[in-house]
Structure 1
Amino acid sequence: MTTATARPGGTAPAPPPSDAPELVVSALTVRFAGLTALDEVSFTVPPGSLHALIGPNGAGKSTCFNVLSGLYRATSGSVRLGDVELTSLSPHRIAALGVARTFQNIALSGRLSTADNLMLGRHRLTRTGFVSAGLRLPRGRREERRHRERVREIAEFVGIADHLPVPAGLLPYGVQKRVELARALCLEPRILLLDEPVAGMNGAERRAMAATLRRIRAGLGLSILLVEHDMDMVTRLADEVTVLDFGKRIATGPPARVQRDPEVIRAYLGTSPIRREGEATP
């Protein structure tokens, strides 16, 4: 299996049984003091699909992600993952349901090795008690060995296996973004929330990341909710797009239709539609 950073491994790690649930956001509203950050926003992410959430800076995209992952409380509205209501749950309970996210600003432990950063993503799956793990009892050692084997599988799939011994803070920026993605996959999620996964990358890194996201969908059957400003990537990857402007949803639909919506062009895209599929990415 290839482990070069520019060309991630060709086959997905063996997934757990696929049971990706539908994510339904209904009339989601968030207010901070007198400011309305989200105003009755609704959209649905069907199982196994990739849904993009786009809009200008300050449109409410990160606020939406923070509600979905439990960092913010909704003022009103509903977020359901399958049959479970998420809006009243804490972040760790939402993560335990299989919701994993990356962040717009890299949130790695720079002094820890890449491998140990990925092991943090296995925390919710750890069954060994504190005493067994701390005393390095046989049961704890066996479980750690299993988790580290899984970490290597995922690192190979994402293309960072060569960097496992390296402190995360010493890695190039584009590799750190891949480490964040791999750490999210280490949670064995059912849905991924990816906050600008290619921000700050060069063209080759962006194309490699897009290819990795395609393989995640094909190989692991995950649902993905993507916040991204790279409209070429959105056009090529997304099944549906929801556009926010000043906290309101102004359009939802397939990329080809959304990119021609007059409100979207006015609010976000300027006078030029998103580049059509098949045109070259810079």
Structure 2
Amino acid sequence: MTARTTAPPELEVRDVTVRFAGLTALDEVSFTVAPGSVHAIIGPNGAGKSTCFNVLSGLYRPATGTVRLGGTELTRLAPHRIAALGVARTFQNIVTTEGTVADNLMLGRHALTRAGFAASALRLPRAVREQREHLARAREIAELVGLQQHFDSPVALLSYGDRKRVEFARALCLEPSVLLLDEPVAGMNGAERARTAEVVRTVRDRLGLSVVLVEHDMGLVMRLADEVTVLDFGRVIAHGTPDRVRQDPEVLRAYLGTETPQEDVA
């Protein structure tokens, strides 16, 4: 599988504020996702992590602040426009369709299809050729995330962990430069979490993309992330490497209500 030949663009979040009926969900949040890095957004429940992801993917529009991907501002764009620019997302809850793994992954390729509806419906040679190419690429991505043996299997028959990986693979089928993973190992057992962590690592290295993840499994975050941004009550309270963040007094207070460093805080 071919990696991108150029580094992905930098994702820059600057002074983003989101309010809901007078409640401030994000308060002047700023951070930068370096090209090709794994960047984790963590924090206690209600800290604003999901709201932040919804801003990055275009589901929410901030009251103030900007989100930029390279030289392009994403702040006021619709979700499908942001996806077309190279930002793909998974969700906390499994969102798969009926049919096979191949069917689900081909949905992810739909936005990249150039042949028109008429050409596809009439099975014109260029449409058939393009469909074949997309299917081959979907098969490559399935192999990359460990789903090759299930490619033609109904999604309904897969394990929970494999269905989560179908979502992961479908997002990759958009050929993103930035992949947003919303709690990718939520609900998985220990073996499935370890397997998914390895998949994230492999995808980042092989495809040369940036990964932004929200995750409550702090062991996974500390193993995977290059940089960590910590939110609490909608504000950034810490940012840095995993080792630096886990010793930060503000982080310790947010998670444990103590300033004493604890080995397993983050």
TM-score (norm. length: structure 2): 0.95
Aligned equivalents of 2:201, 2:180: Cα separation in 1: 15
1:170 CA displacement? 2.6
Per-residue deviation, residues 190-214 of structure 1 (Å, max 9, x unmatched): 0100001011111111111111111
User: Aligned partner of 2:2: which letter?
Assistant: A
Aligned to 1:62: 50
1:17 CA displacement? 3.0
Superposition map of 1:130-169 within 5 A: 130-169=117-156
1:165 CA displacement? 1.7
Aligned to 2:163: 176
1:228 to 215, 224, 231: 215
2:8 to 4, 20, 23: 20
Task: Tell me if the contact between 1:16 and 1:188 (Cα under 8 Å) persists in the aligned partners.
Answer: no
1:276 CA displacement? 9.0
Aligned equivalents of 2:114, 2:10: Cα separation in 1: 28
Aligned to 2:264: 275
Aligned length: 264
Aligned equivalents of 2:169, 2:257: Cα separation in 1: 34
User: Aligned partner of 1:247: which letter?
Assistant: G
Superposition map of 1:2-151 within 5 A: 13-109=1-97, 111-151=98-138
Deviating beyond 4 angstroms after TM superposition, the runs of 4 or more aligned structure 1 residues are: 269-272
RMSD, matched Cα? 1.5
Task: Tell me if the contact between 1:235 and 1:276 (Cα under 8 Å) persists in the aligned partners.
Answer: no
Q: Which ranges in structure 1 are unaligned for 5 or more consecutive residues?
A: 1-12, 278-282
SS at match of 2:50: helix
1:58 CA displacement? 1.2
Per-residue deviation, residues 231-275 of structure 1 (Å, max 9, x unmatched): 111111111111111111111011111111111111125556353
Q: Which ranges in structure 2 are unaligned for 5 or more consecutive residues?
A: none
Task: Tell me if the contact between 1:101 and 1:193 (Cα under 8 Å) persists in the aligned partners.
Answer: yes
TM-score (norm. length: structure 1): 0.90
Pairing 1:211–2:208 present = no
1:139 CA displacement? 1.3
Seen in structure 2, the aligned counterparts of structure 1 residues 236 and 32 have a Cα distance that, compared at 3 Å, is: same
SS at match of 2:53: helix
Identity of paired residues, percent?
67
Seen in structure 2, the aligned counterparts of structure 1 residues 94 and 227 have a Cα distance that, compared at 3 Å, is: same
Seen in structure 2, the aligned counterparts of structure 1 residues 173 and 270 have a Cα distance that, compared at 3 Å, is: farther
Seen in structure 2, the aligned counterparts of structure 1 residues 269 and 19 have a Cα distance that, compared at 3 Å, is: same
